[in-house]
Every structure is written in C-alpha cells, then in structure tokens.
Structure 1
Amino acid sequence: MNVAQGRTERPFRSVLYMPGANPRALARARELDADALILDLEDAVAVSAKDEARGLVERALRQGGFGRRSVVVRINGLDTPWGRADVRALAPLRPAALLLPKVERPEQLAEVSELAGQCGAPDLPLWAMVETPRAILNLAAIAGAGLPLRALVAGTSDLVKDLHARHTLARTEVLTALSLTVLAARAHGLLALDGVHLELDDAAGLQAACRQGRDLGFDGKTLIHPRQIEAANAAFGMSDAEVERAQAVIAAWREAQARGSGVAVVDGKLVEALHVDEARRVLALARAIATV
C-alpha cells in the first residue's frame, strides 16, 4: 500500500488476531470475512505452548487455503527465548508479513529483517507494534528507518497499562498516541491499523471506536473476535454516498480543467486538487473492496 501517493492495493478494514495455539481457530480463519489475519504467537499463547503454537502456525501456512486474506504472523520478540526460532521457522514460508511486538527502536526491525534474509526471505515485509510510551516518542525513527516496514499497528491495551491510564469510552487516554501513529504512517507511506476493542458484548462501543479510528485516519482496525469483523468492514469501507460524491468531485474537476479553471464547486463546496486526490483514493479503495 502506498498511502503517501493515495494508492491502495487492497483493503485492510478488518485485521483479526487468531491464537496460534488453537488449531480450530486457525482452521476457522479460512472462512471468515476479515481482510487480514494475524496468527499470533505472542500474547495469545501461554509460555508452555510457544513451541507447539509455532508448529501449528507453520503447518497452517504450508497448507494455505486462506484465499484473499492477507496472513501475517505476530512473532515473539527477539529478546525472548522464542523469537529467533519463530523467524527461522516462518520467514521461509513467506507470510504476508511478520509482526514484531513492542517495537521501540528501528534496530529491532533491522535485526528481524537481517535474520529473515539469512533464512532465505530477504525483504520480507514487516509490521511493527507500537504499544509503549517509548515507541510513541520514537515513531518518526521507527517509521522512517528505510526497512521493509509496511505497517504500524497500535497496541492500545499495553499502552494504557504502561501509561497507568484507564480505558475510557472516548479513548481520551490514547488519542495523542493514535494521532501520532497515523501521522508517522502517512509521512512514510505505511499502513496504519487501530488498536483492539476489548469488550466483546459492547456492539455500540465497537462501532463508535471503529468510526473514531476511521475519522482519525486509520486504514482499519485490529480485532480480537470474529463477531467484530462486520463492524470494522462497515466503518472502514466506502458507502455509496462517499463513492458518488468522489465521482462527482472528479467529474466537476475535469470540467473545470477543460475550461481553464483551477477550482470547481460540488454541492456548494469548493473543490481543489487536494480534494481530487482524496476522491481518487476513495474510488481506488472502493474498487479494491469490490474485488474481495
């Protein structure tokens, strides 16, 4: 995805974490309407099950069958007893990306990338979890490291813990961090994914969080349960009204250009080149969604 130039190769509206130690969940993942799956070897796996989970995820990647869904693996950090083994086992299988938890310095990503290259997977895409105060303060360095980094993933649960803050419905406690994450992603052409909503029975709260993430500029939301997929797909997709307005903006702009004008008016609102760029992004995303 090249956000900086407004081009979208595929949607990432809904990105679902799936526990790597649960073979039934891994099998079910092939049938879900998520745009992407994160097969998780970190938080969702007990210490005693780390090696078994790695084997299950390796088997799932070899079997394939995930269809249109991008399949990402969240590995354990390289400073743990399991991280290097995760990379060695899974990088050669070429998942869509490896997601590295608790990234605070670009050197952490460089180390994973170097190890993946030694395993026969040079330039394997990486995603970075930004979930600590130090990560937020170092976002510019992380996002601009010039590595095969493709996405910044907000880890709001860990961040709230480290901030000694409290979860609120409005997410006031993490709004600064979320906005900085989007700013860093946009500055460096990266995907920006919002953090999870922890309350499984809070449909209204989930919808509000998805709308908030969309309004902040995120491309999609990370999820912890399949029942959350529909809300994320709806919030981060494009409505018929948005598509129609984008088409009207481009048509009006073309007419204005044909008569030598640098501006146009649509529904009483001024349209300039920046609005046309956004309209093209909207239509590109709508086309990508229509193909999934």
Structure 2
Amino acid sequence: MFSESKLVRYDYEALTGSDKIRTIHLHATKDRIECSIQQISVTEGGYQALSYVWGSEETPFKAVIIDANKQELGYVPLTENLQSALCDLRDALEIKNKVFRIDEICINREGDEKSNQVAMMGDIYQNESRAISYVSPAVPDEKEQAGICLLQRLDKHFELNYDFIYGNYNLRNIIQTILELPVQEIPEDLQVSGEESEEDVGRHVKQSWRWLYQVANDKSMQRLWIVQDQLLNRQIIMLHGPSILFWDAVAAMNILFHLSTLPSRYQELELHCQTTSRPH
C-alpha cells in the first residue's frame, strides 16, 4: 500500500554534468500522478517537451516520484494546470512515448540550477523529439468530437494554402497577397450568409464552430515558449484534454479567422441559438 500522507518533499540529486537535464517517465497509474526521474545528456533527445499556461502559483497537487524498484522517493508539488495536463497526457492514447521534459518537475528551483537550465533552453528545444502544447482540460462530448471533425475537415480543405501561409512570416504580407491563396472559400455547405433560418443556425451550432474559434484563438497560441518551439522544432502537437490536435492545423485556423476566410460570426451562431431558445 502507498502512503502518500507520509511522503516528504523530493530531494533532487545534483545534475552530474553541465550538459545534463532531467526527464520524467509518466506511469500509467489512475489514482495519482506517479513518475520516475532520469538524468540524460541534452543531446540524447528522445523526450517530449510539455508547454502549458501556469495559471495559479498555488501547488495543491502532488507528483509522486519513485525509483526503479517502485519505492517512493518523495513528491514534487504541482499547480492545478499541470495536474490536469499530466492526467490528460497519461490518458492520451495517441501518445505512446511517456518520456517528458517538464520544467516544473525536472528543474530543481533551489540554488543556481534554474538559471543554468534556462540558458540551455535552445539546446533542449532543438533536441526534443516533439513539443506538446497543452491547451486546456476538456471533457470528451458531442461538441468536442464535432469540433475535432470540423477542424480535420477544414485542415484537409485548406492544406493547399499552408505553403503560402507558413512561407510568409508576416501576417501583413499574407493580407496584402490574400488573392494568391489557392483556396479562397470554405466548403459551400459550411458557409453562412448572416440570413440563416433557425434550422440553419442549429446545423452550424452542431458543427461546433464556436469550439473551433475558441481553440484557434486560445491564449496558448501567443505564448513565447510555443513560438520558440515552432522556430526550433516543427514537431508540435496540441493537447486539448486527451485529444491530440495538430499545430499546423490549429495555427492555420487562427490565421484564417484573422483573414476573415473563417468569419468570427460563425462562433456567434451558438450564442444566437442559446438566446433565441430561452423562454420569455
């Protein structure tokens, strides 16, 4: 039996070299967050870096650290956002490799280690096998699944635009040359004119446009760490709850909303539907 109530704060072993970093292996435990810590050379790679919005600085949760013999070594305190991210990482079936680099756990924030590790971030990004940006917790439901289906459909529809979009590193340049985009409009059955019947509004609501707008415009899309990851390592995915979204697809939707190719009024249809359906 585990005895979390008797656990003490995990005591980090000093890094054994100037090129060393820590990674964690996340275990498939359901009742708590449990992981083991390893030291590797930054050039070894093989780890996935997790980026997420910290949120509150309070750390009411714990990650239990165990050794190779499954003996408890102590705990590392976690913020609520990281607790949610680790639960979703553990449950994401498409993420097979459970070796991660997570600063909140992997860096001993006491003493000089933090500043030394921050100075290595460029090497860490370049040698990671993949970057994972945690968007937010999500409960898999009909809207979530419909939103993912809508994203996948639009991703396939607009993929001919991606070389043009990602080849222009300035949104202003894209706006000025927007007529050069190979695909100018969304599929006809997804278009709205602003004069939809209630039946049409209901159909668009079921397509989860509002979900797509919120995900594409999530504040994580503007975070500095994400931008740095994108510049140094193109292997980026986004985790929305336990669902995997591909960075290129979500980033493209964000740009297409800004270009009004995907008008923001689409996501307002759900609000309109909710307002008109309320009893007077």
Which TM-score band applies after superposition, normalised by the shorter structure? Answer: under 0.3
Larger relative contact order (CA 8 Å, sep ≥ 6): 2
TM-score (norm 2): 0.25
Larger helix fraction of residues: 1
Larger Rg: 2
